[in-house]
Protein backbone atom coordinates (compact mmCIF):
# COMPACT_ATOMS: atom_id res chain seq x y z
CA UNK A 1 0.00 0.00 0.00
CA UNK A 2 1.34 3.42 -0.94
CA UNK A 3 2.30 6.10 1.51
CA UNK A 4 -0.39 8.39 0.12
CA UNK A 5 -3.02 5.72 0.75
CA UNK A 6 -2.00 5.73 4.43
CA UNK A 7 -2.29 9.55 4.54
CA UNK A 8 1.49 9.79 4.76
CA UNK A 9 2.93 12.15 2.15
CA UNK A 10 5.39 10.43 -0.22
CA UNK A 11 9.04 11.50 0.04
CA UNK A 12 8.92 12.72 -3.55
CA UNK A 13 6.46 12.75 -6.39
CA UNK A 14 6.20 12.97 -10.16
CA UNK A 15 3.96 15.96 -10.72
CA UNK A 16 1.85 16.41 -13.84
CA UNK A 17 2.75 19.81 -15.32
CA UNK A 18 -0.72 20.34 -16.77
CA UNK A 19 -2.80 22.29 -14.26
CA UNK A 20 -6.41 21.05 -14.15
CA UNK A 21 -8.66 24.08 -13.88
CA UNK A 22 -11.73 23.49 -11.71
CA UNK A 23 -13.51 26.80 -11.14
CA UNK A 24 -16.64 25.48 -9.43
CA UNK A 25 -16.57 24.17 -5.87
CA UNK A 26 -18.13 20.83 -6.81
CA UNK A 27 -15.28 19.80 -9.11
CA UNK A 28 -12.45 21.32 -7.05
CA UNK A 29 -10.99 18.54 -4.83
CA UNK A 30 -11.47 18.83 -1.08
CA UNK A 31 -8.69 18.59 1.51
CA UNK A 32 -9.05 14.84 1.93
CA UNK A 33 -8.16 14.32 -1.74
CA UNK A 34 -5.70 17.21 -2.18
CA UNK A 35 -4.12 18.04 1.20
CA UNK A 36 -1.50 20.58 0.08
CA UNK A 37 -3.40 23.75 -0.79
CA UNK A 38 -3.38 27.52 -0.50
CA UNK A 39 -5.08 30.62 -1.88
CA UNK A 40 -3.99 34.08 -2.93
CA UNK A 41 -4.69 37.02 -5.19
CA UNK A 42 -2.91 38.46 -8.21
CA UNK A 43 -1.51 41.97 -8.58
CA UNK A 44 -4.76 42.88 -10.38
CA UNK A 45 -6.82 41.51 -7.42
CA UNK A 46 -8.04 38.31 -9.05
CA UNK A 47 -8.42 35.58 -6.40
CA UNK A 48 -7.19 32.05 -7.00
CA UNK A 49 -6.50 28.88 -5.11
CA UNK A 50 -4.80 25.61 -5.92
CA UNK A 51 -4.39 22.16 -4.41
CA UNK A 52 -2.06 19.19 -4.88
CA UNK A 53 -3.31 15.62 -5.07
CA UNK A 54 -0.44 13.47 -3.81
CA UNK A 55 0.57 10.10 -5.21
CA UNK A 56 3.62 7.95 -4.66
CA UNK A 57 5.55 7.13 -7.86
CA UNK A 58 4.93 5.48 -10.24
CA UNK A 59 1.48 7.03 -9.77
CA UNK A 60 1.29 10.65 -10.93
CA UNK A 61 0.50 13.59 -8.66
CA UNK A 62 -1.86 16.31 -9.89
CA UNK A 63 -2.26 20.05 -9.44
CA UNK A 64 -5.72 21.65 -9.49
CA UNK A 65 -6.46 25.38 -9.75
CA UNK A 66 -9.57 27.44 -9.15
CA UNK A 67 -9.55 30.70 -11.10
CA UNK A 68 -13.11 32.04 -10.78
CA UNK A 69 -12.46 35.61 -11.90
CA UNK A 70 -10.06 34.95 -14.78
CA UNK A 71 -12.58 34.29 -17.54
CA UNK A 72 -11.54 33.18 -21.01
CA UNK A 73 -10.98 29.64 -22.22
CA UNK A 74 -10.72 27.40 -19.12
CA UNK A 75 -8.15 25.28 -20.94
CA UNK A 76 -5.66 28.14 -21.05
CA UNK A 77 -2.75 27.56 -18.70
CA UNK A 78 -3.03 30.84 -16.83
CA UNK A 79 -1.49 29.28 -13.72
CA UNK A 80 1.58 27.10 -14.07
CA UNK A 81 4.21 25.63 -11.78
CA UNK A 82 7.73 26.41 -13.01
CA UNK A 83 10.12 24.87 -10.50
CA UNK A 84 10.33 23.26 -7.06
CA UNK A 85 13.09 22.81 -4.51
CA UNK A 86 12.70 21.30 -1.06
CA UNK A 87 9.58 22.90 0.50
CA UNK A 88 9.27 25.73 -2.03
CA UNK A 89 7.68 26.06 -5.47
CA UNK A 90 7.76 28.84 -8.08
CA UNK A 91 4.43 29.66 -9.74
CA UNK A 92 3.49 31.89 -12.63
CA UNK A 93 0.01 33.40 -12.89
CA UNK A 94 -0.73 35.25 -16.12
CA UNK A 95 -3.26 37.74 -17.40
CA UNK A 96 -4.11 37.72 -21.10
CA UNK A 97 -3.90 41.06 -22.88
CA UNK A 98 -7.32 42.54 -23.70
CA UNK A 99 -8.12 45.62 -25.84
CA UNK A 100 -4.50 46.61 -26.33
CA UNK A 101 -3.48 46.07 -22.71
CA UNK A 102 -0.05 44.57 -22.09
CA UNK A 103 -0.05 41.05 -20.63
CA UNK A 104 0.71 40.76 -16.92
CA UNK A 105 2.88 38.10 -15.38
CA UNK A 106 2.87 37.47 -11.62
CA UNK A 107 5.44 35.22 -9.96
CA UNK A 108 4.65 33.58 -6.63
CA UNK A 109 6.68 31.60 -4.12
CA UNK A 110 4.69 28.82 -2.47
CA UNK A 111 5.86 27.22 0.78
CA UNK A 112 4.66 23.75 1.77
CA UNK A 113 5.56 24.33 5.40
CA UNK A 114 2.65 23.91 7.77
CA UNK A 115 0.64 26.08 7.36
CA UNK A 116 1.13 26.48 3.61
CA UNK A 117 1.64 30.02 2.35
CA UNK A 118 2.13 31.94 -0.88
CA UNK A 119 3.94 35.22 -1.56
CA UNK A 120 3.79 37.51 -4.58
CA UNK A 121 7.24 38.52 -5.83
CA UNK A 122 7.83 42.09 -7.03
CA UNK A 123 7.72 42.59 -10.79
CA UNK A 124 11.05 43.00 -12.54
CA UNK A 125 11.39 46.51 -13.99
CA UNK A 126 15.03 46.20 -15.12
CA UNK A 127 15.70 46.73 -18.86
CA UNK A 128 17.29 44.16 -21.15
CA UNK A 129 21.07 44.47 -21.53
CA UNK A 130 21.56 46.00 -25.05
CA UNK A 131 22.24 44.35 -28.41
CA UNK A 132 23.58 40.80 -28.58
CA UNK A 133 23.51 37.58 -30.57
CA UNK A 134 21.61 34.79 -28.90
CA UNK A 135 23.14 31.34 -28.60
CA UNK A 136 20.48 29.82 -30.81
CA UNK A 137 21.84 31.95 -33.64
CA UNK A 138 19.08 34.57 -33.78
CA UNK A 139 19.51 38.28 -33.14
CA UNK A 140 18.03 39.93 -30.06
CA UNK A 141 18.02 43.72 -30.15
CA UNK A 142 16.98 46.37 -27.66
CA UNK A 143 15.17 49.09 -29.60
CA UNK A 144 14.99 52.20 -27.43
CA UNK A 145 12.62 53.92 -29.89
CA UNK A 146 9.87 51.45 -29.01
CA UNK A 147 7.97 51.80 -25.72
CA UNK A 148 8.97 49.10 -23.25
CA UNK A 149 6.54 47.64 -20.71
CA UNK A 150 7.03 48.90 -17.20
CA UNK A 151 7.01 45.33 -15.93
CA UNK A 152 9.42 42.99 -17.67
CA UNK A 153 7.96 39.65 -18.83
CA UNK A 154 10.39 36.95 -17.70
CA UNK A 155 11.25 33.98 -19.89
CA UNK A 156 9.79 31.25 -17.69
CA UNK A 157 11.53 28.50 -19.69
CA UNK A 158 14.87 29.92 -18.49
CA UNK A 159 13.86 30.43 -14.84
CA UNK A 160 14.66 28.35 -11.79
CA UNK A 161 14.32 28.28 -8.00
CA UNK A 162 17.07 27.54 -5.47
CA UNK A 163 16.11 26.98 -1.84
CA UNK A 164 18.71 27.78 0.83
CA UNK A 165 17.05 26.89 4.13
CA UNK A 166 14.58 29.66 4.87
CA UNK A 167 16.02 31.79 2.04
CA UNK A 168 15.74 31.37 -1.72
CA UNK A 169 16.93 32.66 -5.08
CA UNK A 170 14.82 33.01 -8.24
CA UNK A 171 16.85 33.49 -11.42
CA UNK A 172 16.59 33.74 -15.21
CA UNK A 173 19.64 33.18 -17.44
CA UNK A 174 19.91 33.73 -21.21
CA UNK A 175 23.11 32.97 -23.12
CA UNK A 176 24.67 35.09 -25.85
CA UNK A 177 27.85 35.04 -27.92
CA UNK A 178 30.24 37.64 -29.29
CA UNK A 179 33.75 37.94 -30.69
CA UNK A 180 35.40 36.34 -33.68
CA UNK A 181 34.04 32.89 -34.54
CA UNK A 182 31.40 33.30 -31.83
CA UNK A 183 34.06 32.27 -29.32
CA UNK A 184 33.13 34.52 -26.39
CA UNK A 185 30.12 33.23 -24.47
CA UNK A 186 28.30 35.28 -21.85
CA UNK A 187 24.99 35.17 -20.02
CA UNK A 188 22.48 37.79 -18.98
CA UNK A 189 21.27 36.88 -15.51
CA UNK A 190 18.30 38.44 -13.75
CA UNK A 191 17.93 37.25 -10.16
CA UNK A 192 16.11 37.97 -6.93
CA UNK A 193 17.16 36.99 -3.41
CA UNK A 194 14.60 36.62 -0.66
CA UNK A 195 16.88 38.53 1.72
CA UNK A 196 16.18 41.86 -0.01
CA UNK A 197 13.47 40.84 -2.54
CA UNK A 198 14.94 43.07 -5.27
CA UNK A 199 15.68 42.16 -8.87
CA UNK A 200 19.27 42.56 -10.06
CA UNK A 201 20.96 41.89 -13.39
CA UNK A 202 24.44 41.25 -14.71
CA UNK A 203 26.21 40.13 -17.87
CA UNK A 204 28.77 37.50 -16.90
CA UNK A 205 31.18 35.30 -18.89
CA UNK A 206 30.76 31.51 -18.98
CA UNK A 207 33.57 29.58 -17.28
CA UNK A 208 34.49 26.46 -19.27
CA UNK A 209 37.37 24.00 -19.53
CA UNK A 210 36.34 23.21 -23.11
CA UNK A 211 36.32 25.34 -26.23
CA UNK A 212 33.22 27.47 -26.78
CA UNK A 213 33.93 28.21 -30.44
CA UNK A 214 30.73 28.21 -32.53
CA UNK A 215 28.82 27.71 -29.29
CA UNK A 216 25.06 27.20 -29.38
CA UNK A 217 22.69 26.73 -26.47
CA UNK A 218 19.03 25.90 -25.86
CA UNK A 219 17.78 25.71 -22.27
CA UNK A 220 15.44 22.73 -21.96
CA UNK A 221 15.07 22.71 -18.19
CA UNK A 222 16.38 24.37 -15.02
CA UNK A 223 16.88 22.29 -11.87
CA UNK A 224 18.34 22.95 -8.40
CA UNK A 225 21.26 20.75 -7.37
CA UNK A 226 22.62 21.25 -3.87
CA UNK A 227 24.01 24.79 -3.74
CA UNK A 228 23.70 25.33 -7.50
CA UNK A 229 20.97 26.25 -9.91
CA UNK A 230 21.58 24.37 -13.17
CA UNK A 231 20.51 25.32 -16.70
CA UNK A 232 20.51 22.22 -18.93
CA UNK A 233 20.89 21.80 -22.68
CA UNK A 234 20.49 18.07 -23.42
CA UNK A 235 23.15 18.23 -26.13
CA UNK A 236 25.60 20.89 -25.00
CA UNK A 237 25.86 20.51 -21.24
CA UNK A 238 24.96 21.88 -17.82
CA UNK A 239 25.54 25.42 -16.56
CA UNK A 240 26.17 25.40 -12.80
CA UNK A 241 25.00 28.73 -11.40
CA UNK A 242 26.64 29.85 -8.15
CA UNK A 243 24.68 32.56 -6.32
CA UNK A 244 26.65 32.65 -3.07
CA UNK A 245 28.68 35.74 -3.98
CA UNK A 246 27.28 39.18 -4.67
CA UNK A 247 27.55 38.53 -8.42
CA UNK A 248 26.49 35.08 -9.70
CA UNK A 249 28.77 32.96 -11.91
CA UNK A 250 28.07 30.22 -14.46
CA UNK A 251 30.36 27.22 -15.09
CA UNK A 252 29.83 24.91 -18.08
CA UNK A 253 30.13 21.12 -17.70
CA UNK A 254 29.72 19.18 -20.93
CA UNK A 255 27.45 16.13 -21.15
CA UNK A 256 28.92 12.74 -22.13
CA UNK A 257 27.45 12.89 -25.64
CA UNK A 258 28.25 12.40 -29.26
CA UNK A 259 27.98 15.27 -31.75
CA UNK A 260 24.39 16.42 -32.36
CA UNK A 261 22.75 14.89 -35.48
CA UNK A 262 22.29 17.03 -38.55
CA UNK A 263 18.50 16.64 -38.48
CA UNK A 264 17.36 19.65 -36.44
CA UNK A 265 14.05 17.94 -35.66
CA UNK A 266 15.92 15.23 -33.75
CA UNK A 267 17.95 17.85 -31.87
CA UNK A 268 14.80 19.79 -31.03
CA UNK A 269 13.01 16.71 -29.69
CA UNK A 270 15.85 15.48 -27.46
CA UNK A 271 13.98 16.65 -24.33
CA UNK A 272 11.49 13.83 -24.93
CA UNK A 273 14.20 11.20 -24.54
CA UNK A 274 16.62 12.66 -21.98
CA UNK A 275 16.63 13.82 -18.39
CA UNK A 276 18.94 14.97 -15.60
CA UNK A 277 18.01 14.27 -11.97
CA UNK A 278 19.62 15.08 -8.63
CA UNK A 279 20.07 12.11 -6.26
CA UNK A 280 21.86 11.23 -3.00
CA UNK A 281 20.99 14.46 -1.18
CA UNK A 282 21.93 16.49 -4.27
CA UNK A 283 25.52 15.19 -4.26
CA UNK A 284 25.23 13.44 -7.63
CA UNK A 285 23.45 13.88 -10.96
CA UNK A 286 21.98 11.12 -13.11
CA UNK A 287 21.86 11.73 -16.86
CA UNK A 288 19.80 9.20 -18.77
CA UNK A 289 19.08 9.14 -22.50
CA UNK A 290 17.14 6.99 -24.93
CA UNK A 291 18.60 6.79 -28.46
CA UNK A 292 16.32 5.55 -31.24
CA UNK A 293 17.73 3.31 -33.95
CA UNK A 294 15.29 4.54 -36.60
CA UNK A 295 16.36 8.24 -36.50
CA UNK A 296 12.76 9.39 -36.16
CA UNK A 297 12.24 12.43 -33.96
CA UNK A 298 8.74 11.45 -32.73
CA UNK A 299 6.22 8.66 -33.22
CA UNK A 300 6.08 4.86 -33.06
CA UNK A 301 9.19 2.83 -33.78
CA UNK A 302 9.72 1.68 -37.32
CA UNK A 303 9.32 -2.02 -37.96
CA UNK A 304 12.35 -4.00 -36.67
CA UNK A 305 13.79 -0.84 -35.03
CA UNK A 306 14.84 -0.55 -31.40
CA UNK A 307 16.57 1.80 -28.98
CA UNK A 308 19.44 2.01 -26.50
CA UNK A 309 19.26 3.45 -22.96
CA UNK A 310 22.45 4.90 -21.46
CA UNK A 311 22.94 6.28 -17.96
CA UNK A 312 25.84 8.34 -16.55
CA UNK A 313 26.45 9.73 -13.06
CA UNK A 314 28.20 12.99 -12.21
CA UNK A 315 29.67 13.84 -8.83
CA UNK A 316 28.87 17.54 -8.34
CA UNK A 317 32.06 17.89 -6.30
CA UNK A 318 34.59 16.95 -9.00
CA UNK A 319 32.29 17.38 -12.06
CA UNK A 320 33.39 14.09 -13.67
CA UNK A 321 31.00 11.76 -15.52
CA UNK A 322 31.05 7.97 -15.14
CA UNK A 323 28.97 5.56 -17.21
CA UNK A 324 26.59 3.38 -15.18
CA UNK A 325 25.03 1.12 -17.77
CA UNK A 326 23.91 0.65 -21.36
CA UNK A 327 20.76 -1.39 -22.00
CA UNK A 328 19.22 -2.18 -25.38
CA UNK A 329 15.57 -2.66 -26.25
CA UNK A 330 16.31 -6.27 -27.23
CA UNK A 331 17.55 -6.99 -23.70
CA UNK A 332 14.44 -5.43 -22.17
CA UNK A 333 12.04 -7.16 -24.55
CA UNK A 334 13.73 -10.52 -23.93
CA UNK A 335 13.34 -10.11 -20.16
CA UNK A 336 9.68 -9.02 -20.25
CA UNK A 337 6.52 -10.08 -22.05
CA UNK A 338 4.79 -7.67 -24.48
CA UNK A 339 1.87 -7.44 -22.03
CA UNK A 340 4.01 -5.56 -19.48
CA UNK A 341 6.45 -3.95 -21.92
CA UNK A 342 5.07 -3.22 -25.40
CA UNK A 343 7.65 -3.11 -28.19
CA UNK A 344 7.50 0.64 -28.56
CA UNK A 345 9.68 3.62 -27.77
CA UNK A 346 10.20 4.59 -24.13
CA UNK A 347 9.96 8.35 -23.60
CA UNK A 348 10.46 10.95 -20.87
CA UNK A 349 12.82 8.94 -18.63
CA UNK A 350 12.71 9.86 -14.94
CA UNK A 351 15.13 8.35 -12.43
CA UNK A 352 13.52 7.30 -9.16
CA UNK A 353 14.98 9.67 -6.56
CA UNK A 354 14.89 7.08 -3.74
CA UNK A 355 16.04 4.15 -5.92
CA UNK A 356 18.30 5.53 -8.68
CA UNK A 357 18.62 2.16 -10.43
CA UNK A 358 14.89 2.32 -11.17
CA UNK A 359 13.61 4.47 -14.05
CA UNK A 360 10.06 5.55 -14.94
CA UNK A 361 9.12 6.00 -18.61
CA UNK A 362 6.07 7.11 -20.57
CA UNK A 363 4.74 5.06 -23.50
CA UNK A 364 2.45 6.90 -25.92
CA UNK A 365 0.17 4.61 -27.89
CA UNK A 366 -0.21 4.90 -31.64
CA UNK A 367 -3.55 6.40 -32.61
CA UNK A 368 -5.07 8.31 -35.51
CA UNK A 369 -7.15 10.23 -32.98
CA UNK A 370 -6.05 13.26 -30.98
CA UNK A 371 -6.77 11.50 -27.68
CA UNK A 372 -3.92 9.02 -27.30
CA UNK A 373 -3.55 6.30 -24.71
CA UNK A 374 -0.51 6.49 -22.44
CA UNK A 375 1.15 4.24 -19.89
CA UNK A 376 3.76 4.73 -17.18
CA UNK A 377 6.23 1.85 -17.08
CA UNK A 378 8.76 1.37 -14.27
CA UNK A 379 11.90 -0.69 -14.95
CA UNK A 380 14.66 -1.91 -12.64
CA UNK A 381 17.66 -1.29 -14.87
CA UNK A 382 19.84 -3.71 -12.88
CA UNK A 383 17.59 -6.70 -13.52
CA UNK A 384 16.00 -5.28 -16.69
CA UNK A 385 12.64 -6.34 -15.29
CA UNK A 386 9.45 -4.28 -15.36
CA UNK A 387 8.23 -3.44 -11.85
CA UNK A 388 5.03 -1.66 -12.83
CA UNK A 389 2.95 -1.01 -15.94
CA UNK A 390 0.07 1.45 -15.38
CA UNK A 391 -2.28 3.15 -17.77
CA UNK A 392 -2.21 6.92 -17.26
CA UNK A 393 -4.33 8.32 -20.12
CA UNK A 394 -7.25 6.31 -21.49
CA UNK A 395 -7.46 8.14 -24.81
CA UNK A 396 -10.93 8.48 -26.32
CA UNK A 397 -12.38 6.82 -23.21
CA UNK A 398 -11.58 10.03 -21.33
CA UNK A 399 -14.05 12.01 -23.47
CA UNK A 400 -16.77 13.44 -21.24
CA UNK A 401 -14.92 12.66 -18.01
CA UNK A 402 -13.30 15.07 -15.57
CA UNK A 403 -9.92 14.18 -17.05
CA UNK A 404 -10.84 15.06 -20.64
CA UNK A 405 -8.81 18.28 -20.48
CA UNK A 406 -5.73 16.41 -19.29
CA UNK A 407 -6.08 13.70 -21.95
CA UNK A 408 -6.47 16.26 -24.72
CA UNK A 409 -3.57 18.46 -23.61
CA UNK A 410 -1.26 15.50 -22.94
CA UNK A 411 -1.94 14.08 -26.40
CA UNK A 412 -1.37 17.43 -28.09
CA UNK A 413 1.67 18.49 -26.04
CA UNK A 414 3.26 15.72 -23.95
CA UNK A 415 5.69 17.05 -21.35
CA UNK A 416 7.97 15.40 -18.80
CA UNK A 417 6.76 15.15 -15.22
CA UNK A 418 8.15 17.55 -12.65
CA UNK A 419 9.98 16.01 -9.69
CA UNK A 420 8.90 17.45 -6.37
CA UNK A 421 10.03 16.78 -2.80
CA UNK A 422 8.06 19.29 -0.78
CA UNK A 423 5.47 16.73 0.48
CA UNK A 424 8.35 15.31 2.53
CA UNK A 425 8.94 18.71 4.13
CA UNK A 426 5.22 19.10 4.84
CA UNK A 427 5.27 15.72 6.61
CA UNK A 428 8.30 16.71 8.68
CA UNK A 429 6.72 20.03 9.57
CA UNK A 430 3.55 18.34 10.81
CA UNK A 431 5.61 15.76 12.73
CA UNK A 432 7.50 18.52 14.56
CA UNK A 433 4.21 20.29 15.26
CA UNK A 434 2.70 17.15 16.82
CA UNK A 435 5.81 16.65 18.97
CA UNK A 436 5.50 20.20 20.27
Q: What is the mean pLDDT of each run of 10 residues along the chain (436 residues)?
A: 53 93 91 91 92 93 90 70 94 76 86 88 86 48 49 89 93 84 83 95 89 81 94 93 92 84 78 95 93 90 94 93 97 97 96 96 83 95 97 91 90 92 66 48
- Range(s) of the domain holding residue 182: 123-141+154-255
Does a structural domain hold residue 8? Answer: no
Does a structural domain hold residue 164? Answer: yes
Does a structural domain hold residue 199? Answer: yes
Does a structural domain hold residue 137? Answer: yes
Does a structural domain hold residue 104? Answer: no
Domain count, the chain: 1
Q: What is the pLDDT of residue 241?
A: 96
Q: What is the pLDDT of residue 152?
A: 81
Angle 283-92-86 from CA coordinates, rounded to 5°: 25
Does a structural domain hold residue 33? Answer: no
Q: What is the pLDDT of residue 73?
A: 61
Q: What is the pLDDT of residue 180?
A: 67
Q: What is the pLDDT of residue 435?
A: 43
Whole-angstrom distance, CA of residue 186 vs CA of residue 90? 26
Does a structural domain hold residue 161? Answer: yes
Q: Which residues contact 210 (CB under 8 A, 6 or more apart)?
A: 252, 254
Whole-angstrom distance, CA of residue 344 vs CA of residue 71? 41
DSSP secondary structure letters along 95-155: E---TTPPPEEEEEEEE-SSSPEEEEPPPP-PPP-SSEEETTS-EE---TTSPPPSS----
Does a structural domain hold residue 246? Answer: yes
Angle 199-212-142 from CA coordinates, rounded to 5°: 40
Q: What is the pLDDT of residue 369?
A: 66
Amino acid sequence: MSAAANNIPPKWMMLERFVSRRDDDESFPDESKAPIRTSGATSWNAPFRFAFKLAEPPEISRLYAQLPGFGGDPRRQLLSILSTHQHLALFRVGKISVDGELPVQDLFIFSASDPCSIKLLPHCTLPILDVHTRCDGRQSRHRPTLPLPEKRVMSVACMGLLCEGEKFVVAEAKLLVSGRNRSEVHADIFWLRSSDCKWKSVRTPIVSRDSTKDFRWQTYTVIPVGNWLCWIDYYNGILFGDFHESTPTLTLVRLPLESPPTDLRIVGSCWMYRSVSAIDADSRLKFIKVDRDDCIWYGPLKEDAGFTITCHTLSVKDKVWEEDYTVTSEELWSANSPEVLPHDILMFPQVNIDRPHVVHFLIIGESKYLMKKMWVVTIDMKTKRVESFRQYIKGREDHGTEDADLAEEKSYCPLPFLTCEFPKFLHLSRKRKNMD
